[in-house]
Amino acid sequence: MNRLNTLFDTKKDLLSVYFTAGFPQLNHTTTILQALQDAGVDFVEIGMPFSDPLADGPVIQKSSTQALANGMSLQVLFQQLAHMRKTITMPVILMGYLNPVLKFGVERFIDKCAEVGVDGLILPDLPFELYREKYHELFESRNISNTFLITPQTPPERVKMLDENTNGFLYMVSSAAVTGAKTGLNQFQLDYFHRITAMGLKSPRMVGFGISDHSSYRQVCQHANGAIIGSAFIKLLEQSNELTGDIKAFVASIKS
């Protein structure tokens, strides 16, 4: 059990927010993290910027490019998060691509996550088979949750397999497209949510991709444990002149 598991056991209608480490400015990571907690977000996903983020839409790609230009790296990120647990009590997840983790060293990376108080990882391009063969015991021994993604096209057998092997949650990608804020949910997405609910899975489920406002947040909360917002929040950061106040207002607009 870690902070993430405890959260899912005690709360519903969760709101998670994704932001890119080192964006808009290199030193904004902990400022944004604290502001999100103070605003009432349930947990955060901090994006580890990568030069070739294939699953990300243009908004998050742009933020990743800017963060790298600002000087963000895994080493810098761990330095920024070194003392976060002095004030941050909510679960914190790192999300990104496998290549930088491999370059950093997987065991070293997991050890640093445990050292600074990271609760879980989302590595969409980490093959399930590789995770099971090489890294499962490492994650478990450091009490780091691993979250898998499913889409409307994921076969039921694979959904069940991922459900049985995650110690975090299932990230329900709301469509097969790249990330990006959209308006409303269509019938295809709703049918997908109903189909997954009917499977009676053991793991908590969070819906991401295309969640951008109060209406879409409330819709997905009827079919999952909560919603993840990314691109809409990155746009806010890009335009903000006063991060703390603007973040508070943004979160209030989603939840109220």
Alpha-carbon span 54 to 178, nearest angstrom: 8
Rounded Cα distance between 189 and 185, Å, is: 6
- DSSP-derived secondary structure for 64-107: HHHHHHHT--HHHHHHHTTTGGGT--S-EEEE--HHHHHHH-HH
Per the CB < 8 A criterion, the answer to whether 20 and 57 are in contact is: no
Helix (H, G, I), strand (E, B) or coil at 146: strand
Residue with tokens 């030193």: 27
Q: Both tokens of residue 31?
A: 């400022």
Global pTM exceeds 0.75: yes
Tokens of 105: 């060293």
**pLDDT above 60 for 78:** yes
Find out whether 251 and 217 touch, Cβ atoms under 8 Å.
no
What CATH number is given to the structural domain containing 74?
3.20.20.70
Cα 226 to chain center, whole Å? 12
pLDDT at 54 over 70: no
3-state secondary structure of 20: strand
Q: How long a stretch of residues is the chain?
A: 256
The DSSP bridge partners found for residue 208 are 173
The three-state secondary structure class of 11 is: coil
Catalytic residue among 38, 52, 56, 163: 56
Q: Which two tokens stand for residue 70?
A: 């600002």
Count of domains for the chain = 1
Catalytic residue (one of 42, 45, 119, 163): 45
Percent of the chain residues past pLDDT 90, beyond the cut:
86
How far apart are alpha carbons 252 and 232 in whole angstroms?
A: 14
The string of DSSP letters for 221-251 reads: HTTSSEEEE-HHHHHHHHH-SSHHHHHHHHH
45 is annotated as an active-site residue = yes
Residue 147 half-sphere exposure toward CB, CA atoms < 13 A: 24
231 token code pair: 């691109």
- Per residue in 106-137, pLDDT (tens digit) is 999 999 999 999 999 999 999 999 999 999 99
**Could you tell me the pLDDT band of residue 56, with boundaries at 50, 70 and 90?**
confident
Q: Which domain holds residue 240?
A: 3-255
